């Protein structure tokens, strides 16, 4: 593998994995904050709702 | 007037939602189409164009589709005709939205058939059925015999049909169980398995396959060096930019109408911006990190760069279903590796298939009040009957025709329409505000400019290029959708395939019209939000009873 190809290959991996890691870290952090401070006006964020009749 | 749905389904967890959305996006293309496109389009140039397209086209479209979906969900609309009518208060909106019912249905039908091949080959890997067929030509014959009903050269005549039935049953069963108990559960099980299988295969290819005689001593790093070769001359070629943009478009499953339906089960208190990025990033990990490390590098090790290029040029299915089995037969634990490869392709396919069924389910449940299980199994019957057309007429180009017009051209057309509706008709300010409701991040203002101007123009260029370059010659039958010359024997099947698709569109439009009449919708007034109390006028109308 040439140095240039190595740069493209590793650069692609670093970009994608960094984006993925950042996204999931933010998701987990945000979700932890939401669950720590529930909205008293809303008990209908992502969780089981009243089962639909249909 | 139809009873407003107060109790719509919901996702059980945020991670389940992201995995389901990622499952929708991750498909056969991540592991077969991407490496092929990178190999054929100057490697490094392709990757630069690819990541630019991800930023300017892919992620913005992902957000726009989630936004359209959640906005429709406010009104109890999990289907595109309703979502478009919620944005654009015009009688034409619901008919334009029929594309969002027809496209996922058409793609579901032939995609289920392709998914059944992956299930069959998973089984064949375990049983060692194809062991001994150690050349590309022999494995290609094996594949063609499997696909051709009545050809018992290698397989029993009805083997393909049996696996199609099993795959279809599994798909419909998951869908019939609903959003949380069916689709989310499949994603929570299937996506980790997919990633584990792919990671094992990537590690094996990278570290445990020595150079082979047929590859002239090439290693996995040589294979990756070929895929990611720093040939920047391709950046001056429009075909590389278009190929890269096209791959981003298809890999994220935008333009299908399915992401919108999934997003319709969210509320304005749920985030869609950060979740959309997580979904896109998960798809890119499957594609660039894993998909790019398996098929083409393995092909280079066994066949050399020239051989791998020829294999890539021959098509994605040959790479996945002919080349990879040849590779596995040369490796220790080859049957297990084959099981991992086709197993991950099966999970990639079925998590996408179940998504394609959901817009149809949402439409019949919400507009006709039909129970979920009844819609699901009825849909299964429709897929079975129309799927027979692909099973019997595969060699005549029936699948290629549907794949082009619905799964390629149709997606681009639909995506262009929805971007214009959400960003221009709905207005950028409303779209921007809508996307930020419940958001856990705040987008820099540049993204508003990108979504309003750059993404639509990028998409328009892409669509126009494809229309002129590919669609027009295919429409005139100068070339088939599969890239061959039409023959007098195939032309009736090509026409039949087109007429069937038109028929599906017409039936969809009729059903939408009937639904709007039976539910008494006013195109100009729009829908009432689920949380909004009925007006006095509406309550009185309900008491009197709406006409059928």
Average pLDDT over chain A, rounded to an integer: 77
CA B323 to CA B143: how far, in whole Å? Answer: 11
> Which pTM was predicted?
0.89
pLDDT of residue B317: 82
Q: Residue A46 is nearest to which of B10, B284, B371, comparing CB atoms?
A: B10
pLDDT of residue B482: 74
Is the confidence at residue A47, as pLDDT, over 70? no
B496 CA to centre of own chain: 24
Chain B residues close to A38, C-beta within 8 Å: none
Chain A residues close to B205, C-beta within 8 Å: none
Chain B residues close to A47, C-beta within 8 Å: 10, 12-13
On whether any CB of chain B is under 8 Å from the CB of A14, the answer is no
Average pLDDT rounded to a whole number, residues B246-275: 92
pLDDT of residue B546: 39
On whether any CB of chain B is under 8 Å from the CB of A18, the answer is no
> Which of these, B540, B488, B546, lies nearest to B516 by C-alpha position?
B546
CB–CB contact B230 A8 (8 Å): yes
CA B525 to CA B541: how far, in whole Å? Answer: 16
Q: Which CATH entry fits the domain spanning B14-201+231-292+320-427+448-544: 1.10.4160, 2.60.120, 3.30.2290, 2.60.40?
A: 1.10.4160
Average pLDDT rounded to a whole number, residues B252-263: 94
Closest approach of A17 to chain B, Cα-based (Å): 7
B126 CA to centre of own chain: 28
pLDDT of residue B519: 93
Chain B residues close to A50, C-beta within 8 Å: 7
Report the range out of B262-276, B401-415, B519-533 with the highest average pLDDT. Answer: B262-276
pLDDT of residue B5: 46
Question: How many CB atoms are closer than 10 A to CB B25?
Answer: 30
On whether any CB of chain B is under 8 Å from the CB of A27, the answer is yes
Torsion angle (degrees, nearest 10) of CA B374, B375, B380, B386: 130
Per-residue confidence band for A48, with pLDDT thresholds at 50, 70 and 90: very low
Q: Residue A23 is nearest to which of B226, B269, B274, comparing CB atoms?
A: B274
DSSP state of B29: I
pLDDT of residue B74: 93
Chain A residues close to B9, C-beta within 8 Å: 49, 52
Q: Residue B365 is nearest to which of A4, A27, A54, comparing CB atoms?
A: A54
Average pLDDT over chain B, rounded to an integer: 89
Chain B residues close to A36, C-beta within 8 Å: none
Is the confidence at residue B6, as pLDDT, over 80? no
Chain B residue with minimal CA distance to A14?
A: B289
In order of A48, B55, B67, B403, B449, the CA distances from B456 in angstroms are 37, 13, 16, 24, 11
Determine which helix (DSSP H) or strand (DSSP E) holds B428, and give its type and residue range.
Answer: helix B428-436
Q: Please give the structure tokens belonging to residue A11.
A: 């650069």
Per-residue confidence band for B42, with pLDDT thresholds at 50, 70 and 90: confident
pLDDT of residue B115: 94
**Alpha helix segments (H runs only) across B177-291:** 185-207, 220-227, 238-251, 258-263, 273-284
φ/ψ bin of B209: left (φ > 0), alpha (ψ from -120 to 50), beta (otherwise)? beta
pLDDT of residue A50: 40
CA B133 to CA B144: how far, in whole Å? Answer: 14
* CB burial string B490-519: b at 16+ within 10 A, e below: beebbeebbebbeebbeebbebbeebbebb
Question: Range with the lowest mean pLDDT among A15-29, B109-123, B476-490?
Answer: B476-490
CB–CB contact B230 A50 (8 Å): no
CA B179 to CA B13: how far, in whole Å? Answer: 11
| C-alpha angle A46-B411-B409 in degrees, rounded to nearest 5 | 175
Model confidence pLDDT, tens digit, residues B333-390: 999 999 999 999 999 999 999 999 999 999 999 999 999 999 999 999 999 999 988 8
pLDDT of residue B149: 59
Average pLDDT rounded to a whole number, residues B55-75: 95
Per-residue confidence band for B309, with pLDDT thresholds at 50, 70 and 90: confident
- C-beta of residue B125 within 8 angstroms of C-beta of residue B425: no
Is the confidence at residue B489, as pLDDT, over 60? yes
CB–CB contact B274 A31 (8 Å): no
pLDDT of residue B157: 62
CA B356 to CA B210: how far, in whole Å? Answer: 41
Going B501 to B498 to B356 to B24, the CA torsion angle's sign is negative
């Amino acid at each position: 593998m040439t140095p240039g190809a190595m740069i493209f290959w590793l650069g692609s991996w670093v970009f994608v994995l960094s984006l993925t890691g950042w996204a999931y870290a933010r998701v987990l952090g945000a979700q932890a904050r939401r669950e720590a401070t529930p909205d008293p006006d809303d008990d209908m964020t992502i969780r089981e709702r009243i089962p639909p009749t249909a | 007037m139809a009873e407003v749905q107060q109790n719509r389904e919901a996702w059980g967890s945020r991670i389940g939602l992201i995995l389901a959305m990622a499952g929708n996006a991750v498909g056969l293309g991540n592991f077969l189409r991407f490496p092929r496109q990178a190999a054929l389009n100057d490697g490094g140039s392709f990757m630069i164009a690819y990541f630019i397209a991800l930023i300017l086209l892919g992620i913005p479209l992902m957000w726009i589709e989630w936004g359209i979906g959640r906005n429709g969900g406010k009104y109890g609309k999990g289907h595109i005709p309703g979502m478009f009518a919620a944005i654009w208060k015009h009688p034409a909106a619901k008919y334009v939205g029929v594309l969002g019912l027809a496209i996922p249905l058409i793609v579901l039908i032939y995609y289920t058939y392709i998914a059944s091949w992956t299930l069959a080959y998973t089984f064949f890997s375990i049983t060692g059925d194809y062991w001994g067929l150690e050349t590309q030509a022999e494995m290609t014959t094996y594949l063609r015999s499997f696909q051709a009903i009545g050809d018992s050269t290698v397989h029993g005549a009805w083997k393909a049909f049996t696996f199609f039935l099993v795959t279809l049953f599994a798909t419909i069963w998951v869908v019939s169980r609903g959003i949380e108990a069916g689709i989310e559960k499949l994603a929570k099980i299937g996506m980790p398995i997919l990633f584990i299988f792919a990671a094992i295969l990537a590690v094996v290819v990278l570290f445990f396959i020595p150079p082979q005689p047929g590859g002239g001593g090439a290693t996995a790093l040589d294979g990756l060096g070929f895929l990611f070769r720093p040939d920047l001359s391709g950046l001056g070629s429009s075909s590389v930019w278009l190929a890269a943009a096209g791959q981003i478009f298809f890999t994220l499953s935008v333009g299908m109408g399915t992401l919108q339906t999934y997003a319709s089960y969210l509320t304005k208190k749920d985030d869609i911006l950060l979740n959309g990025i997580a979904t896109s990033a998960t798809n890119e990990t499957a594609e660039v990190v894993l998909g790019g490390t398996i098929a083409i590098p393995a092909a280079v090790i066994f066949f050399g760069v020239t051989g791998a290029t020829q294999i890539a040029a021959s098509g994605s299915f040959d790479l996945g279903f002919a080349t990879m089995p040849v590779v596995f037969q040369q490796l220790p634990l080859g049957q297990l590796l084959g099981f991992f490869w086709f197993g991950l392709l099966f999970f990639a396919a079925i998590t996408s298939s179940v998504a394609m069924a959901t817009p149809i389910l949402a439409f019949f449940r919400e507009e006709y009040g039909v129970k979920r299980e009844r819609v699901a199994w009825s849909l299964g019957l429709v897929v079975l009957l129309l799927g027979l057309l692909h099973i019997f007429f595969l060699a005549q180009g029936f699948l290629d025709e549907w794949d082009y017009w619905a799964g390629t051209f149709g997606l681009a057309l639909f995506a262009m329409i929805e971007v214009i509706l959400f960003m221009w008709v709905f207005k950028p300010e409303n779209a921007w505000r809508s996307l930020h409701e419940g958001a856990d991040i705040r987008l820099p203002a540049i993204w508003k400019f990108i979504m309003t101007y750059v993404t639509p123009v990028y998409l328009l260029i892409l669509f126009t290029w494809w229309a002129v370059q590919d669609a027009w010659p295919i429409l005139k039958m100068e070339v088939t959708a599969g890239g061959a010359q039409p023959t007098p024997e195939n032309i009736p099947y090509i026409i039949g395939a087109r007429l069937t698709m038109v028929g599906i569109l017409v039936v969809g439009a009729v059903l939408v019209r009937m639904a709007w009449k039976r539910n008494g919708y006013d195109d100009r007034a729009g829908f009432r939000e689920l949380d909004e109390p009925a007006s006095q006028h509406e309550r009185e109308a309900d008491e009197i009873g709406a006409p059928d």
